[in-house]
Each structure stands twice: as structure tokens, then as C-alpha cells.
A and B are shown apart, each in its own frame.
Chain A
Amino acid sequence: MRTASGENVVVVENLVKDYTVPLPPKPGFGQRLRRVFAPEKGIKRALKGINLTVPRGQVLGFVGPNGAGKTTTIKILTGIIAPTAGNVSVLGFNPHRQRYEYTYHIGLVFGQRSLLWYDIPVIDSLKLYAEVYEVSREAFRRRLTRFAEILGIDEFLHVPVKKLSLGQRMRAEIAASLLHDPEVLFLDEPTLGLDAVAKEEIRLFLTETNKERGTTIFLTTHNMGDIEALCDRVVIIDEGTIIYDGTTEDLRNLEHEKHIDVEFLPVPGSSPLATGEAVAKSLALIQQYGVDSSQLATGRGTEARGHSLLPRKVRLRVPQEQSLEVVSLLLALGTVRDLNVAPPSLDAIIRRIYKGGLGDIVA
């Protein structure tokens, strides 16, 4: 029985998943011998009671370090594995118990695993999927035309999968998973190993699919470019627990700093506008906020600026409210060849979250 769950297409409550894992052998011959006949096993808790809802039409980025529980979550949501405890409902279905009916409504792409047949042309795999999902001939033709227009799959429809490039194969995989026009699309690392052009094509296609068809997209990735290009919302999971859940914009604002990169021209002397006090203040700032201020201490890669040493290139991480002041001081310090002021990348923010650097800010 499919149960209504409002506009939330995914509802997860207190989801727990345990895996059985072999325990490391204890020292001693007797212990090793015993292990041959009765290997010791332990329980590893991969998901520790996570709660999550995803509204219809949202593009959700589900990120986390390796072993955090991303793939386990996606496999539970797609009905591939059963949860140990907790409630899972997707589109009103219990994914594991109602797998047959449920899988008509979802699409799935694994970046590391192919859904296509290796030795035969792509078109034959697509025709098979059309039968599996009971797609009418007319709908099949229409969708194939769309995939050809946006994903360019017509170029390699009659080529065996084994002869495709990774980018082509991934485009074919996405076409296969969207052939039945699913309401929810689960993507597990879809851009893994792809070049910049292929990534861009896939992101564009997914964006259009979400906008035109209203498809809800649940994406796991390590690629922050995917998150920035596609996702309205980011959920970060670590060691089986959700540690952040918010919009991509809010995530970016977690870091109240700007990254300032400046490169000075190798001309002796400071800017004519710089006073002795300004030079001293700038150098102090570099000491305080420099990402790598060791150059100043060692004198390597630096040039004499009067009685002080100034690096040729400086990278600073400056509190947002001080960034303007710092920029003007840097401009006064020497002749600037290049200056870049930017918010920190999502990659940098998430890296800091993984390392616990924003531990007091996140959920």
C-alpha cells in the first residue's frame, strides 16, 4: 500500500544500518586456528539514526567523506538493501518491501557500476529497459530524441558499451535511468572520473530535467562542482550521522572569511603612497592571516622592502568585515600584479567541516 507523505517525496526517520564485519585476528596460534573454524564477527553501525526529508522537485546534494554512509543511504532509499531499524518512505512506498511497484517510479545511476550490457550496442540496452519499465514505443521514441538533443547519445547509440569513452558511457547510463521518466532520480557519483566537458554536459542535462520534468534528484558526490551547479540543498553526513543540513548558500555563509590572493611585481620599494606605518601594519596582517606566512620567517621567496621582507605572493584568509581594509593596505604595500578576493570554495568549507573545523557552527 502506497502511503501519502505530503509534498515530501523522501521521508527518513531514525534510520539505522548495521553491517556485520570480520574482527581482526587475535594474536596466538590457537586463536588463529579457532578463527578458521569460527571467525569472530562484529557489528559496524554505518547509519546512526538519521532523519531526512526531501520535498518534491528538490535537488539534494548528499556529501560526506569516504565511509560516511552516503552509499548505504542511497541503497536503502532505492530498496537495494534493508534498513536495520527506522522508517523509510519514498513517494509513499516502503522501498525494500514494495520494491517491484516502487522501482517503476525511480531512476538510479551508479558512477562506478554500469547498468548497461557490455558487449552489445547501447540501443539494445535501452530497448530492454523500455520493456522493463513498460515504456510505450511512442514515449521511447520521444525520449530518445530528447536524449539525442541534449546528451548527444545518437552519436554512439549503435556502438557496443565496451567501446565507449567514460563520458559517453555515463551519458548512456543517465539516458537509461531516465527512459521511464522517473519521479525521483538517485545518482551515486555520476561525474566520477569524467573530464570537464562531460561533467558540464551532464550537469546541464540534469538541471534541465529537474526544471522541465520536476524530477527530484538525490545526488551523492565528492565533486563540489556538482553541488554548486546543481543542488539547492546540501546534507553532509559523517560517520553515519548528519552533521549539516541546509541550503548551498547557507553552507557557503558558514565561513565568515574571504580568501585574498595577491601577487606583487618584483620592483624594489613600496608604493609611493605607503607610509611606514601602513607597511608595518600590512606585514603584521600577513603574519596574522597568511595561510602560509612561513616565507616571512625564513626569507625564502621574499624581497627586501626597506628594512622588512615581503613575499612575492600572499594568500590570506581574512574575516569578511576586515577584507576591504586588508585589500587597501595590500594595495599600498607594493605594486600589485594580480589581486583576487573570493569567498572560500565549497570544497574548502566542506573539508573544514570534515576536519571538525566548523564543529560549533554545524548542526
Chain B
Amino acid sequence: MILWLKVLSKHLRLLARYWVITFKEFSSFTWDVWLSVIQFVLYIGRSIVFWWAVSRIGVFGGWTLPELSFFAAISFLPGLHELFWNFWNRASFSDKVLRGDLDKYLARPVHPLFAIAAEDVHLAMFLKYFAPPLVMAICLVRGYHLPVTMGRFLVGYLLLSTGKLVLTMMRAASSMLAFKYGDVTGLQLLLFQFTALGRYPVDAFPSTLKFLLTYVLPAGFTATFPAMVMLGKAAGLEVFGVAAVLAFLWAFIVLRLWAVMVSSYESFGG
């Protein structure tokens, strides 16, 4: 128990140190950061315009225009875990395996997956992606008097984070195949192209597709169900239970795959 606490405390201290490092890296590229914030706000705006155009045709799958706009805004919120790691989404893990870049992580007394992930810890980047959709969502709630309470919002956000964590773990698991099969970026694109459907309310899809996007490739947990919970259209606890089970299952699979696959790591010649 004491050993575990010691390990945990060490990793928390490391996390703090990584934050300092990434903040320093971040602050040396300020101009780029502001440009990307503007680009991101425009991107969310484009999504809202899209739903405005759709709602002119009629009510979409039971969602009104203000609800769809709210849904569009929160679909851009990053999950809590993205504060800690973002590298799977950049598909760089298989690159690291292929280029032999895991050497420095494997030669240190810290779990390599933690080290790789923590290197991407980025409080400032997280805020950059968190603030614009949050501000938009608040404006929509105020402007259209949407029935979103603080409690519902927090439960919904927890659900969204868990849903995004599941997809991250699935991506991580597929990245482990790089140890055996080399570059898996193409395979990942193929497997995860359907996660883009999470940008649409999945409850409006046919039941088979809805099932697949809930339990198999759970993109529904990244926006639809959280938005429904926040708007009071669904009960939070039940949906959250499914997402939590999936997150634990996939985290277990990732750790098992890592333990097996790392023995196949061939590094890189001198």
C-alpha cells in the first residue's frame, strides 16, 4: 500500500513537471496558438450554421435548432483525460514504435505509457479547446432558456469524458498492433472513420446503427448522450454505467496488449 502511494506521489510530481515543460513549449509559440483558437471558433460556428440549415427543413430526429446548436457546441468539448494525454489522437504512437522512439521511455523508471502520455500534458491546450465550446454552450443555454442545470451539465460532461476515454483506449489498443504489423495509421483511419458519426445525434439513426454507435464503436457517448443528459432528455446514471464498463474493459485490454506486445519491440539500429 505504502509502495503504491509512493509510486502515485512520484507520478503526480512528474505530471506537474511535465505541465511546466509543456507550458514552456506552448509559450514559445504564442502566435500559432491564437491563430488556432480563431480557427477552432470558426469551426464550431460552421457546425452551428450546418444545423441551422438542417433545422430549416424541419425538426431533426426530435432535436430543435437551439438543442442542435447546444449539441454541436458540446460535441467539441475535450474529455477530461485529454488534459493528461492526447497522443493517441495524433496517431503518433505507431510512429514512435516504428522509428524506435520508445527507447528513451523504456530506459527510465516510469511506466512508458504514462511517460508518453504525460509528455503531452497540456493545460493551456486543454483550455484552448475547452473554453470556446463552453462559452458557446453557455450563451445558447442563456439565449434559448435551455433546461440545463449545473448538476446535469457536470454529469453529462463526466459521461462525455468517459465516452471519449473509451474511444481513446480503443485507439490505443489498435496502436499496439504497430509492434507486430508496423504502420497501423491506415487501419486506424479505416476503423475509426465511423466515430465522425458522433458529430450527429445518433438517436436519430436507425436502431442497428444506433446500437453499433453505442456499444461497439461508442461514438454516441462523445456528444449525443451527454447532450441528452444535460438537456434532461435522458437519465445520466444508467448511460454512464455502460460507458464506465466500456472504459474499464478497454483500459484493461490496452494494458494487456502493452505487456504482451512490448516484447516484440525491435527498436532501431545504431
Residues of A within 8 A of B (CB): 19-20, 66-67, 70-72, 75, 78-82, 96, 99-101, 103-104, 106, 108, 110, 112-113, 115, 117, 119-121, 124-125, 127-128, 131-134, 188-189, 220
Closest to A128 in B: B17
Q: Does B61 contact A (CB under 8 A)?
A: no
Distance between Cα atoms of A100 and B7 in the complex (Å): 11
Cβ B109 vs Cβ A103 within 8 A: yes
Binds A, one of B49-57, B216-224, B262-270: B262-270
Question: C-beta contact mask, B1-26 vs A, less than 8 Å → 1, else 0?
Answer: 00000000010011001101100110
Taking A75-B103, A131-B14, A132-B14 as contacts, is the C-beta distance between A81 and B270 under 8 angstroms?
Answer: no
What residues of chain B have their CB less than 8 Å away from a CB belonging to chain A? 10, 13-14, 17-18, 20-21, 24-25, 28, 102-104, 106-111, 263, 265-267, 269-270
A81, A120, A188 — most chain B CB neighbours (10 Å): A81
- Complex: A43 Cα to B20 Cα, angstroms: 45
Chain B: CB-nearest residue to A115: B104
Answer whether A79 and B110 are a contact pair too, CB < 8 Å, given A71-B269, A131-B14, A134-B10: no
Rounded to whole Å, the gap between the CB of B170 and the closest CB of chain A is 26
Q: B107 near A78 (CB under 8 angstroms)?
A: yes
Residues of B within 8 Å of A220, CB to CB, are 270
Give the nearest-CB partner of B100 in chain A: A113
6 interchain pairs, CB-CB under 8 A:
A81-B267, A103-B107, A119-B25, A121-B24, A125-B21, A133-B108
**Contact A132–B106 (Cβ < 8 Å):** no
Are A113 and B269 interface neighbours, CB within 8 A? no
- Which B residues touch A112, using CB under 8 A? 270
Q: Once the chains are docked, how many angstroms separate the CA of A121 from the CA of B21?
A: 9
Classify the secondary structure of A's interface with B.
mixed
Alpha-carbon distance A308/B263, docked complex (angstroms): 69
Contact A128-B18, Cβ < 8 Å, known A100-B111, A110-B103, A120-B25 = yes
Check if A119 sits within 8 Å of B267, measured CB to CB.
no
Bound-complex Cα distance A106 to B25 (A): 29
CA distance A359 to B97 in the complex (A): 39
- Which of chain A's residues have a CB closer than 8 A to the CB of B24? 119-121, 124
Please name the residue on chain A nearest to B25 by beta carbon.
A119
Task: Give the 5 A-B CB pairs with smallest separation, nearest first.
Answer: A71-B270, A103-B109, A82-B263, A80-B106, A104-B109
Most buried by B among A79, A80, A121: A80
CA distance A103 to B109 in the complex (A): 5
* Chain A: minimal CB distance from B102 (Å): 8
Contacts of B106 in A (CB 8 A): 78-80, 99
Residues of chain B contacted by A101 (CB below 8 angstroms): 109
The answer to whether B13 and A131 touch across the interface, beta carbons within 8 angstroms, is yes
The residue in B13, B14, B103, B111 that gathers the most chain A C-beta atoms within 10 A of its C-beta is: B103
In the complex, what residue of chain A is closest to B6 when comparing beta carbons?
A: A134
B17 touching A80, Cβ below 8 Å: no
Residue on A with the closest CB to B29?
Answer: A119
- Cβ–Cβ < 8 Å partners of B265 in chain A: 80-82
B residues within 8 A CB of A70?
Answer: 270
- Nearest chain B CB to A134 CB, angstrom units: 6
Q: Which residues of A contact B263 (CB under 8 A)?
A: 82, 96
Partner of A133 from B17, B20, B109 at Cβ < 8 Å: B109
Q: Which residue of chain A is the closest to B10 with respect to CB atoms? A: A134
> Min CB distance, A144 to chain B, in Å?
16
Closest to A118 in B: B25
A117 engages B270 (CB within 8 Å): no
Residues B270 and A132 in contact, CB atoms below 8 Å apart: no
Contacts of B13 in A (CB 8 A): 131
B109's partner among A75, A82, A132 (CB-CB below 8 A) is A132
**A117 surroundings in chain B (CB, below 8 A):** 21, 25
User: Which residues of chain B are within 8 angstroms of A110 by Cβ–Cβ distance?
Assistant: 103
Residue of B nearest to A130 (CB): B17
Contacts of A81 in B (CB 8 A): 265-267
> In the complex, what distance in Å separates the CA atom of A188 from the CA atom of B109?
20
B17 A131 Cβ-Cβ under 8 A: yes
A125–B108 Cα distance when bound, in Å, is: 13
Rounded to whole angstroms, the CA-CA distance of A119 and B269 in the bound complex is 26
Determine if A113 and B18 form an interchain contact, defined as CB atoms under 8 angstroms apart.
no
* Chain A residue contacts of B28, Cβ below 8 A: 119
Q: Are B267 and A188 in contact (CB under 8 A)?
A: no
A120→B267 contact, CB < 8 A:
no
Residue from B17, B109, B266 in contact with A100 in the complex, judged by beta carbons closer than 8 Å: B109
B164 to A: closest C-beta gap in Å:
27
- Which residues of B have CB within 8 Å of A79? 106-107
Asked whether A103 lies within 8 Å of B108 as measured between CB atoms, the reply is yes
**Measured CA separation A80–B109 after assembly (Å):** 12
Q: Are B25 and A113 in contact (CB under 8 A)?
A: no
Which residue among B14, B24, B102 has the maximum number of chain A CB atoms within 10 Å of its CB? B24
Q: Write the chain B residue with the least CB distance to A21.
A: B266
Whether A19 contacts B109 by the Cβ 8 Å rule is no
Residues of A within 8 A of B270 (CB): 66, 70-71, 112, 188-189, 220
A186 closest partner in B (C-beta) = B107
Whole-angstrom CA separation of A79 from B106 in the bound complex: 7
CA distance A189 to B270 in the complex (A): 9
Provide the residues of chain A in CB contact with B102, threshold 8 Å: 80
Other contacts beyond A70-B270, A75-B267, A132-B110: 7, CB < 8 A: A19-B266, A79-B106, A81-B266, A82-B263, A115-B104, A117-B21, A128-B17
B98 → chain A, closest Cβ, in Å?
13
Contacts of A100 in B (CB 8 A): 109-111
* Bound Cα distance A81, B179 (Å): 12
Given the complex, which residues of A lie within 8 Å of B25, measured CB to CB?
Answer: 117, 119-120
